[in-house]
């Protein structure tokens, strides 16, 4: 049946929305709406199509498309073109991602999405499809997981070197890194979470192949501007620490050390943004190989700048070595993308990146609050342990290392899930997006349960791996059952948070975290510790209750998701930038589309 004979395609067209064959005029220029992701059926208003041709959509990469439509990826190494072999023969990058009689809802809740069954699912759970998505998630998340683990070597090596320098140097670095964590790195990483939504959806759903690069530039500019207050504070941190009546020697050395973290932060932020840019477009393996190789090579900088007697510059050699390591990662990542990566998703630097910050900020600012609330809560928890005693603080360091490792695994899976959800929404495939969400959520909970059970099994020996103090080992063995429950809730919370991030709804998570952590967890922990004198277990029980409340809250939001509506929101988000692009490039309206 042709689109013209399809009653579902005719009905909206008769209500005032132009069909594929009809034309409209805008600004005195003649526009012929074309089919974009099946939007020409009329179920999406013409304002969301804007005459964009699906044949010129950004070309997804091999790992991006592979499990999406259940086809076999064909890659022409000589021509650099990719296609998908579906049930009706090979498709190339110039074919529409959805057939012309496909459709997505035009904005009302509860409307049925009609999408070609060869491209999207029917809404019914399919075990073969579920296993396919599970395999894809494992394949895509594993290199990111390994790369992130290798990157943590920088932190471990830095702490070991500082520990051998002396107690004063280690104390200074700990204080400086605490300030660095809550005042810079947590907010900046939170701002960058906007790319999980924008780049993933634009890489598959945008008319413009270079739109992910525009989003990358906007987000980086926002991060650079947001970092300015932290720079001012770091440059004048000495009077702040003096006011807090800290040791004079520690204050002076910390004020000197923290200034060297400024260039490291700039480069680290830029590299993390480019890493998200890679992942959103399915370039998981290249960025993982780059990160692993450059990080291992970058360990030489630590020896040269902080260990070797001839070239060592003392305590500041650690941030300088980190700066060199991140710079190496960043340089190789940019070089690979501009040469071997065919500049996928990138159309060069553009003044357009200085405009349209509103949509980026609406995703980035809640992301900053979302990450910062958790980081500040755990920092305050560690600070509170210092009031309990040295033994409790030593046990807390073991717990934090454990949580860091668990979070590393879960975040790798969560980031891949968020980007694949965004990719499918960009492709106008709500059922596949939902399938990926549930598959990722189930995988995350399973991983959390396995790690929690394993931790309980070795609870009597876990503390001995890190510390020889019997009292510390006893505290670790006592708290590990609570820590195991926290790991399960953390798995649920992280995966649900990333699903909502892929949808473009981080505001909900930010509000939930602000209420749970600042209204419930921190006050309850303070009262139980300082008023009732219940000790370390009370702090962990307060944190456990808060994380479970947060996890169940975001799970409820995910369960209530209207995936059809999320496709419409995605189209609105992309169409906003399309309209600006056409206004600033009027020659496109006359049909002379320049690549």
380-417 pLDDT, tens per residue? 887 777 777 778 877 887 888 888 888 888 998 999 99
* pLDDT score of 428 more than 50: yes
The answer to the question of residue 261 being in a domain is yes
Q: Are residues 479 and 573 in the same domain?
A: yes
The answer to the question of residue 96 being in a domain is yes
Q: Are residues 374 and 346 in the same domain?
A: no
Q: How far apart are CA 166 and CA 511, in angstroms?
A: 42
Q: What is the pLDDT of residues 253-295, one digit of tens each?
A: 999 999 999 999 999 999 999 999 999 988 889 999 999 999 9
Q: How far apart are CA 564 and CA 109, in angstroms?
A: 8
pLDDT value for 206? 78
Six-digit token string for 563: 């995936």
Q: pTM for the full model?
A: 0.77
Q: What is the pLDDT of residues 120-148, one digit of tens each?
A: 555 556 677 778 888 888 898 889 988 88
pLDDT value for 105? 37
Q: Are residues 488 and 407 in the same domain?
A: yes
Q: How far apart are CA 421 and CA 208, in angstroms?
A: 20
The answer to the question of residue 130 being in a domain is no
Instruction: Give the helix, strand, coil percentages of the chain, each rounded to 5.
Output: 75, 5, 25
CA-to-CA separations, 496 to 132, 279, 436, 440, 506, in angstroms, rounded: 21, 19, 12, 9, 11
Q: How far apart are CA 485 and CA 453, in angstroms?
A: 9
Contact 144, 416 (CB under 8 A): yes
Total count of domains within the chain: 3
Q: Are residues 335 and 436 in the same domain?
A: no
Q: What is the DSSP letter of 71?
A: -
Q: Are residues 348 and 382 in the same domain?
A: no
Q: Quick one: what percent of the chain has pLDDT higher than 70?
A: 75
The answer to the question of residue 290 being in a domain is yes
> Average pLDDT, stretch 472-489?
92
pLDDT value for 222? 95
Phi, psi values for residue 98, rounded to 5°: -130, 150
The answer to the question of residue 265 being in a domain is yes
> Mean pLDDT over all residues of the chain?
77
Contact 34, 54 (CB under 8 A): yes
Q: Are residues 254 and 403 in the same domain?
A: no
Taking Cα atoms as reference points, which of 20, 114, 68, 109 lies closest to residue 426? 68
Q: How far apart are CA 4 and CA 101, in angstroms?
A: 9
pLDDT value for 580? 57
Q: Of 307 and 118, which is predicted with more confidence?
A: 307
Q: What is the DSSP letter of 21?
A: S
Q: Are residues 34 and 8 in the same domain?
A: yes
**H or E element, residue 225:** helix 211-235
Question: Which of 13-22, 199-208, 485-494 shows the lowest per-residue confidence on average (mean pLDDT)?
Answer: 13-22
Q: How far apart are CA 109 and CA 128, in angstroms?
A: 29
Q: Are residues 271 and 159 in the same domain?
A: yes
Edge-to-edge strands, sheet with 72-75: 72-75, 82-86, 89-92
Q: Of 105 and 491, which is predicted with more confidence?
A: 491
Q: How many CB atoms lie within 10 A of CB 419?
A: 29
Q: Which of 302, 331, 355 is a domain's end point?
A: 355
Q: 3-state DSSP call for residue 89?
A: strand
Q: Of 245 and 418, which is predicted with more confidence?
A: 418
Contact 417, 435 (CB under 8 A): no
pLDDT band at 577 (very low <50, low <70, confident <90, very high): low
Question: Vertex 499, ends 572 and 74: CA angle to 5°?
Answer: 80
The answer to the question of residue 139 being in a domain is no
Contact 18, 24 (CB under 8 A): yes
Q: How many CB atoms lie within 10 A of CB 348?
A: 9
The answer to the question of residue 461 being in a domain is yes
The DSSP line for 407-472 is HHHHHHHHHHHHHHHHHHHHTT-HHHHHHHHHHHHHHHHHHHHHHHHHHHHTHHHHHHHH---HHH
The parent domain of residue 541 ranges over: 369-578
Q: How far apart are CA 62 and CA 341, in angstroms?
A: 12
Q: Are residues 440 and 478 in the same domain?
A: yes
Q: How far apart are CA 59 and CA 74, in angstroms?
A: 13
The answer to the question of residue 360 being in a domain is no
Q: How far apart are CA 216 and CA 337, in angstroms?
A: 14
Q: Are residues 211 and 308 in the same domain?
A: yes
| Bridging pattern class, strands 82-86 and 89-92 | antiparallel
Q: How far apart are CA 97 and CA 335, in angstroms?
A: 30
pLDDT value for 578? 60
Q: What is the pLDDT of residues 504-538, one digit of tens each?
A: 999 999 999 999 999 988 998 888 888 887 777 88
pLDDT band at 64 (very low <50, low <70, confident <90, very high): very low
Q: Are residues 109 and 215 in the same domain?
A: no
Highest mean pLDDT (candidates 23-27, 124-128, 205-209, 559-563):
559-563
Q: Are residues 186 and 71 in the same domain?
A: no
């Amino acid at each position: 049946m042709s689109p013209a004979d399809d009653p579902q395609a005719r009905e909206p067209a008769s209500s005032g929305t132009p069909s594929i064959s009809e034309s409209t005029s805008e600004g005195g220029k003649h526009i012929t709406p074309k089919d974009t992701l099946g939007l020409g059926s009329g179920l999406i208003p013409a304002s969301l199509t804007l005459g964009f041709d699906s044949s010129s959509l950004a070309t997804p990469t091999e790992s991006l498309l592979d499990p999406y439509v259940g086809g076999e990826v064909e890659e022409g190494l000589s021509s650099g073109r990719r296609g998908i072999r579906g049930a009706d023969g090979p498709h190339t990058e110039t074919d529409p991602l959805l057939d012309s009689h496909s459709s997505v809802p035009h904005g009302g809740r509860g409307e049925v999405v009609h999408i070609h069954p060869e491209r999207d699912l029917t809404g019914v759970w399919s075990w073969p499809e579920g296993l396919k998505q599970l395999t894809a998630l494992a394949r895509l998340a594993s290199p990111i997981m390994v790369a992130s683990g290798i990157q943590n070597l920088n932190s471990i090596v830095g702490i070991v070197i500082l520990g051998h320098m002396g107690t004063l140097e280690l104390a200074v670095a700990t204080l400086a890194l605490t300030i660095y964590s809550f005042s810079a790195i947590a907010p900046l990483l939170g701002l960058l979470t906007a790319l999980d939504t924008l780049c993933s959806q634009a890489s598959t759903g945008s008319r413009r192949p270079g739109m992910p690069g525009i989003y990358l530039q906007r987000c980086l500019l926002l991060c650079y501007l947001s970092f300015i207050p932290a720079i001012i504070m770091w440059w004048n941190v000495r009077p702040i620490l003096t006011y807090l009546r800290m040791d004079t020697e520690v204050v002076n050395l910390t004020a000197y050390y923290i200034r060297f973290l400024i260039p490291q932060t700039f480069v680290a932020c830029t590299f993390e943004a480019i890493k998200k840019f890679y992942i959103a477009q399915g370039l998981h393996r290249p960025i993982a190989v780059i990160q692993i190789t450059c990080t291992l090579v970058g360990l030489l900088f630590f020896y040269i700048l902080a260990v070797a007697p001839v070239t060592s510059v003392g305590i500041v050699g650690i941030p300088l070595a980190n700066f060199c390591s991140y710079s190496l990662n960043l340089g190789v990542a940019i070089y690979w993308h501009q040469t071997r990566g065919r500049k996928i998703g990138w159309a060069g630097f553009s003044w357009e990146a200085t405009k349209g910050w509103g949509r980026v900020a609406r995703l980035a600012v809640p992301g900053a609050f979302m990450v910062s609330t958790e980081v500040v809560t755990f920092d305050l928890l560690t600070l509170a342990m210092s009031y309990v005693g040295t033994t409790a603080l030593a046990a807390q360091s073991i717990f934090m290392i454990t949580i860091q490792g668990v979070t590393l695994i879960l975040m790798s899976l969560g980031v891949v899930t968020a980007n694949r959800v965004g990719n499918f929404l960009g492709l106008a495939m709500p059922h596949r997006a939902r399938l990926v969400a549930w598959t990722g959520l189930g995988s995350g909970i399973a991983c959390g349960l396995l790690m929690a059970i394993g931790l309980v099994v070795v609870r009597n020996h876990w503390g001995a791996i890190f510390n020889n103090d019997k009292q510390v080992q006893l505290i670790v063995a006592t708290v590990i059952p609570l820590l195991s429950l926290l790991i399960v809730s953390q798995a649920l919370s992280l995966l649900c948070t990333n699903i909502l991030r892929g949808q473009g709804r981080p505001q909900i998570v930010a509000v939930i975290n602000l209420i749970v952590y600042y209204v419930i967890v921190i006050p309850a922990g303070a009262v139980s510790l300082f008023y009732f004198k219940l000790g370390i277990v009370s702090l962990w029980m307060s944190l456990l209750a808060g994380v479970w409340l947060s996890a169940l809250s975001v799970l409820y939001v995910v369960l209530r998701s209207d995936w059809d509506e999320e496709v419409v929101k995605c189209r609105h988000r992309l169409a906003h930038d399309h309209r600006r692009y056409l206004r600033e490039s009027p020659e496109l309206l006359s049909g002379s589309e320049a690549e």
